[in-house]
């Protein structure tokens, strides 16, 4: 990790100067080093195009090219003419694949103690929308304490207008009247922010519609605005477990610091393995000394034993690009200090979001897409003339119009056949949805009371079964006494949220910072649980995490009357 910290070294004689070497190039991943690309032969060009296609597949549509860098990572640099020819060749390669090219940054190379020949290295982003996709889609959960400014910053990012200091920017995000009156989010809302191939922002400004944003974007950031108040904690946890975000953005107010549910939200995100970065807001309302105290407090918390992260203050565009490119390590935690009123450092956050890479590589994604279809249901709607529509995330496989699927489990544990009517993504109709994408699926004239959150749509070939009991390896984050057999708690597993009781334990009792293998039994109805899923459980101040290690199938009574 030392080389990552060195990229942000502020003690060098020029902050724009990179270190003398990068980590050696690896065959896997979406990062490619090229010393120079000057006048390649046709056969060499064909080989380079094939190599670029491989890197794009590894990056799920995005690749980073380091020009002027040797394979061992040494920054050799290129002259102006060599750099111009290399970028021209790179653009030709991208055109052959239907990809776009944008130069993220160019830096001078310090070849010795004194500047001699001026040579440069360049970092270039190549972006190509994967096949069968309209754009590269990333989901980003927004966390933070109440009144930290979560909805305000989303309003500024997605609508392109600064706030007036009294919350005007957030009004477009609220879904209920009481949210407008109180200024506090109580439900999960969604907003989108697009980037085109040149890294330019495509949002609601200039009276753009959702259709225009999706049509003109090659990369789309889907924000999931979660609740900050403690009484809505179950809604926030459901957003993190059910919607399966790729990243999390923790909002901290510079005026109050780490108060309320801030640390709790950070701990939940880290427990679920969601890479998290921090945005400190309202710096215009504080003195510089108060902002600095807030940042120092934040850095101490991130370095502590509970987080073990390397906090990096992002102060330049160079910092933003470096942080985004290395964010997949899950050790770095970038920190932004912004103002939604003056617009200070908003451009750095946008640059970071534009470069932020997809988590899964191309080979893993291809495997998941080829698996049998599984779609978890997070929302249920009843629309006149269409019937029941279910919304959620497609975990595996693909779904298209006319597919015959099973939905369940019902209260008696059964799954029932349905036919897919129409599909929508980001409020736009589509013919097919792939694994990792969020989609709404019309399933016909079903009674909406029989369909609920926590159900799944699956392929009949999976032969799905529900369960009342499952075994998990758990770790207690906090409990004031002992947890023993008979303990009741609310369990969150994916989109499932239900009260369960511990029926078996590998120990007589466990307390804070202790582990055990336990058996949970749902109280109300059976659920569909996947082996290996991460779980959270809570009861008042009691909180814990774990992983499902065994599922006990529940066999419904064949003589029972179906629930619908």
CATH, residue 87: 3.30.110
Res 48: pLDDT: 95
Q: Let me know: does 476 contact 510? Beta carbons within 8 Å.
A: yes
Residue 8 has pLDDT above 50, yes or no: no
Res 111: pLDDT: 63
| CA distances for 110 relative to 10, 18, 70, 229, 307, angstroms | 15, 8, 15, 50, 36
For residues 311-329, average pLDDT: 88
Q: For 92-101, 130-139, 464-473, which range has the lowest pLDDT when averaged over its residues?
A: 130-139
Residues 107 and 142 in one domain: no
Residues 534 and 470 in one domain: yes
CA dihedral sign of residues 236, 239, 244, 248: negative
Report the alpha-carbon distance of residue 212 to residue 310 in Å, rounded: 39
Residues 476 and 458 in one domain: no
CA triplet 331, 336, 340: central angle to 5 degrees?
150
Q: Which residues contact 45 (CB under 8 A, 6 or more apart)?
A: 89, 92, 93
Q: For 32-36, 435-439, 521-525, which range has the lowest pLDDT when averaged over its residues?
A: 435-439
Question: Which residue has better confidence, 17 or 541?
Answer: 541
Res 488: pLDDT: 95
Q: How many domains does the chain have?
A: 4
Residue 160 has pLDDT above 80, yes or no: yes
Res 293: pLDDT: 94
* Packed helices 150-159 and 346-355: angle between N→C axes, nearest 10 degrees: 80
Give the pLDDT band of residue 112 (cuts 50, 70, 90): low
Q: For 48-52, 294-298, 322-326, which range has the lowest pLDDT when averaged over its residues?
A: 322-326
Residues 295 and 222 in one domain: yes
Q: Is 335 a domain residue?
A: yes
Residues 414 and 542 in one domain: no
Q: Which residues contact 316 (CB under 8 A, 6 or more apart)?
A: 15, 16, 348
- 290, 324, 359 - which closes a domain: 359
- 79, 100, 127 - which closes a domain: 127
Give the pLDDT band of residue 4 (cuts 50, 70, 90): very low
Q: Is 2 a domain residue?
A: no
Question: CA nearest 103: which of 70, 68, 130, 136?
Answer: 68
Residues 261 and 308 in one domain: yes
Give the pLDDT band of residue 330 (cuts 50, 70, 90): low
Q: Per-residue pLDDT tens for 431-455?
A: 888 888 889 999 877 655 588 999 9
Residue 65 has pLDDT above 90, yes or no: yes
Question: CA nearest 444: which of 382, 386, 392, 516?
Answer: 386
For residues 77-84, average pLDDT: 92
Q: Is 559 a domain residue?
A: no
For residues 243-260, average pLDDT: 91
Res 564: pLDDT: 40
DSSP 406-466: EEE--TTS--EEEE---EEETTEEESEEETT-EEEEEEES--GGG--TT-EEE-GGG---E
Considering the entire predicted model, what is its pTM? 0.86
Q: Let me know: does 5 contact 310? Beta carbons within 8 Å.
A: yes
Give the pLDDT band of residue 461 (cuts 50, 70, 90): very high
Average pLDDT, the chain: 86
Report the alpha-carbon distance of residue 543 to residue 536 in Å, rounded: 7
Residues 518 and 381 in one domain: no
Residue 481 has pLDDT above 90, yes or no: no
Residue whose structure tokens are 């064949």: 558
Longest dimension (CA), the chain: 87
Residues 294 and 307 in one domain: yes
Residue 18 has pLDDT above 60, yes or no: no
Question: CA nearest 432: which of 395, 387, 399?
Answer: 399
Q: Which residues contact 540 (CB under 8 A, 6 or more apart)?
A: none
Res 384: pLDDT: 84
Q: What range defines the domain where residue 515 resides?
A: 466-554
CA dihedral sign of residues 232, 234, 240, 244: negative
List residues bridging with 75 in a β-sheet.
Answer: 69
Residues 543 and 475 in one domain: yes
Residue 313 has pLDDT above 90, yes or no: yes
CATH of the domain at 238: 3.40.50.300
Residue 6 has pLDDT above 60, yes or no: no
List residues bridging with 536 in a β-sheet.
Answer: 492, 545
Q: Is 5 a domain residue?
A: no
Residues 442 and 470 in one domain: no
Q: Is 24 a domain residue?
A: yes
Q: Is 525 a domain residue?
A: yes
For residues 43-48, average pLDDT: 95
Q: For 151-155, 300-304, 405-409, 413-417, which range has the lowest pLDDT when averaged over its residues?
A: 151-155
Residue whose structure tokens are 């504080």: 286
- CB neighbours (10 Å) of residue 463? 10
Q: Let me know: does 456 contact 377? Beta carbons within 8 Å.
A: yes
CATH of the domain at 513: 2.40.30.10
Cis peptide leading into residue 230 (ω within 30°): no
Q: Let me know: does 564 contact 447? Beta carbons within 8 Å.
A: yes
Residue 15 has pLDDT above 80, yes or no: no
Report the alpha-carbon distance of residue 163 to residue 247 in Å, rounded: 25
Question: CA nearest 456: which of 399, 404, 513, 378?
Answer: 378
Q: Copy the structure tokens of residue 327.
A: 């964010």
Residue 168 has pLDDT above 80, yes or no: no
Question: Which residue has better confidence, 243 or 557?
Answer: 243
- CB neighbours (10 Å) of residue 267? 17
Q: Which residues contact 13 (CB under 8 A, 6 or more apart)?
A: none
Q: Let me know: does 396 contact 372? Beta carbons within 8 Å.
A: yes
Q: Is 96 a domain residue?
A: yes
For residues 535-546, average pLDDT: 90
Residue 559 has pLDDT above 50, yes or no: no
Q: What percent of the chain has pLDDT over 70?
A: 87
Q: Is 14 a domain residue?
A: no
- 359, 376, 400 - which closes a domain: 359
Q: How many helices (H) and strands (E) does the chain have?
A: 12, 28
Question: Which residue has better confidence, 454 or 208?
Answer: 454
Give the pLDDT band of residue 478 (cuts 50, 70, 90): confident
Q: For 8-12, 49-53, 59-63, 229-233, which range has the lowest pLDDT when averaged over its residues?
A: 8-12
Residue 352 has pLDDT above 80, yes or no: yes
């Amino acid at each position: 990790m030392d080389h990552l910290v060195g990229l942000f070294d502020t003690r060098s004689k020029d902050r724009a100067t990179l270190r003398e070497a990068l980590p050696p190039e690896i065959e896997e991943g979406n990062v490619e080093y090229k010393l120079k690309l000057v006048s390649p032969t046709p056969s060499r060009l064909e080989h380079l195009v094939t190599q670029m296609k491989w890197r794009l597949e590894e990056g799920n549509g995005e690749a980073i090219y380091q020009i002027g860098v040797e394979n061992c990572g040494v920054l050799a640099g290129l002259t102006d003419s060599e750099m111009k020819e290399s970028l021209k060749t790179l653009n030709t390669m991208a055109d052959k694949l239907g990809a776009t090219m944008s130069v993220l940054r160019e830096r001078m190379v310090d070849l010795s103690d004194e500047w001699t020949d001026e040579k440069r290295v360049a970092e270039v982003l190549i972006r190509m929308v994967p096949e069968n996709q309209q754009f590269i889609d990333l989901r980003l959960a927004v966390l933070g304490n109440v009144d930290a400014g979560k909805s305000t910053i989303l309003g500024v990012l997605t609508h392109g207008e600064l706030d007036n200091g009294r919350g005007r920017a957030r009004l477009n995000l609220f879904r209920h009247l009481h949210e407008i009156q109180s200024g506090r989010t109580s439900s999960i809302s969604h907003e989108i922010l697009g980037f085109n191939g040149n890294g330019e922002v495509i949002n609601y400004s200039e009276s753009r519609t959702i259709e225009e944003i999706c049509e003109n974007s090659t990369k789309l950031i889907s924000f999931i605005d979660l609740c900050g108040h403690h009484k809505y904690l179950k809604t926030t946890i459901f957003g993190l477990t059910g919607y399966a975000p790729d990243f999390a953005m923790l909002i901290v107010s510079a005026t109050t610091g780490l108060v309320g549910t801030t640390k709790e939200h950070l701990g939940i995100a880290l427990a679920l393995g969601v890479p998290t970065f921090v945005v400190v807001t309202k710096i215009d309302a504080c003195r510089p000394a108060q902002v600095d105290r807030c940042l120092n407090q934040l850095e101490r918390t991130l370095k502590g034993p509970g987080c073990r992260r390397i906090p990096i203050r992002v102060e330049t565009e160079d910092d933003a690009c470096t942080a985004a490119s290395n964010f997949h390590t899950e050790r770095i935690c970038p920190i932004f200090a912004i103002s939604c009123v003056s617009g200070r450092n908003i451009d750095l956050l946008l640059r970071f979001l534009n470069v932020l890479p997809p988590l899964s590589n191309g080979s893993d994604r291809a495997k998941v897409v080829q698996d049998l279809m599984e779609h978890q249901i997070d929302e249920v709607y009843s629309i006149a003339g269409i019937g029941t529509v279910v919304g959620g995330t497609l975990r595996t496989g693909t779904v298209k119009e006319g597919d015959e699927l099973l939905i369940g489990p019902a209260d008696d544990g059964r799954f029932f056949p349905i036919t897919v009517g129409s599909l929508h993504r980001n409020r736009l109709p589509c013919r097919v949805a792939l694994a990792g994408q969020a989609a709404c699926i019309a399933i016909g004239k079903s009674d909406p009371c029989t369909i609920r959150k926590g159900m799944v749509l699956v392929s009949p070939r999976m032969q799905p079964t529900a369960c009342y009991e499952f075994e998990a390896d758990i770790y207690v984050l906090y409990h004031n006494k002992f947890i023993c057999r008979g303990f009741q708690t609310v369990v969150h597993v994916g989109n499932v949220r239900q009260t369960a009781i511990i029926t078996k334990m590998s120990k007589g009792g466990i307390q804070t910072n202790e582990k055990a293998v336990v058996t949970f039994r749902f109280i109300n109805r059976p659920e569909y649980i996947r082996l290996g899923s991460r779980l959270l459980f809570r009861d008042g101040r009691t909180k814990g995490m774990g992983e499902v290690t065994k599922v006990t199938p529940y066999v419904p009574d064949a003589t029972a009357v179906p629930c619908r």
